[in-house]
Amino acid sequence: MNHSPFSGLVAFVSGAGRGFGRRVCERLAGAGAKLVVTDYSDDLVNGTIAALKGKTAISGLSGDIADEETSRKLAALIASEHRQLDIAINNAGIAQTQQRLHETDSEVARKVVAVDLLGVFYAMKHQIPLMLETAEKTGRTGVILNVASAAGVMGAPKIAAYSAAKHGVVGLTRSAAMEYARKGIRVNCICPAFTKTEMVLQPLEADPKGKAKAEANMVAFNPMQRLGEIDEIVEAMLFAVSPANSFFNGQALSVDGGLSA
């Protein structure tokens, strides 16, 4: 018998094709949660579904989270298949090439804000009604975890648009936490520093200075002088969404090796 606190719960994960999203799906599936997943391509979505099929109930669809219709369709899928939503992990996002603010292309800035901030807003807008219905019908509380960044709680030179979007995610998180706490919904965000995801490693591999030097520059101001591991971040994600952690609300949880200290 599965005595996990996640057993039987319905969890949604965006950016589920790789990195934090893929790993947290694996952990939740192993703990007995049912999953609905999304990413920007069919290949990424189908890859995660194929890897976990047979281990748990899992379905999903691909789409652009910067388009509100994607979140609307995902909410409809969750409602039709499960009629409840217990956990939502809004993990999908994009990075920004390092450039000074005045040299940053305005279309790049617009896209970063559309995906990293408005994508989270649209997701929450359509997840919250499902969670309110779940709380009303079952008495179970729901939890939303938004993936922000260390750049969302401190200044981040040369990635100003990304930093602004992630600061916005922290603001959305705190505001929603205050709005819905009495309705049975907790809302938190996690703020990781640079971690060994594809989004971080690919630019390092392509850096003309060489990977080793680029990585050394990236972690130069981190007290632990290294990149984070995916599993280190995922442990904190599971902590944040666990039903056993029911008094944890409205927080921006830094998992950054002490960078923001």
Residues marked active site are found at: 162
The pair of structure tokens assigned to 51 is: 């890897």
Between CA 259 and CA 261 the distance in angstroms is: 6
Residue 112 phi, psi dihedral angles, 5° rounding: -60, -45
Within 10 Å of residue 3's Cβ, how many Cβ atoms?
7
Do 217 and 157 form a contact (C-beta atoms < 8 A)? no
Within 10 Å of residue 135's Cβ, how many Cβ atoms?
18
The pair of structure tokens assigned to 80 is: 């039709």
Do 196 and 23 form a contact (C-beta atoms < 8 A)? no
Alpha-carbon distances of 260 from 43, 148, 150, 207, rounded to whole Å = 36, 14, 7, 26
Within 10 Å of residue 64's Cβ, how many Cβ atoms?
14
Between CA 133 and CA 218 the distance in angstroms is: 44
Alpha-carbon distances of 21 from 11, 50, 126, 150, rounded to whole Å = 12, 15, 19, 18
Alpha-carbon distances of 73 from 77, 80, 122, 155, rounded to whole Å = 6, 10, 11, 35
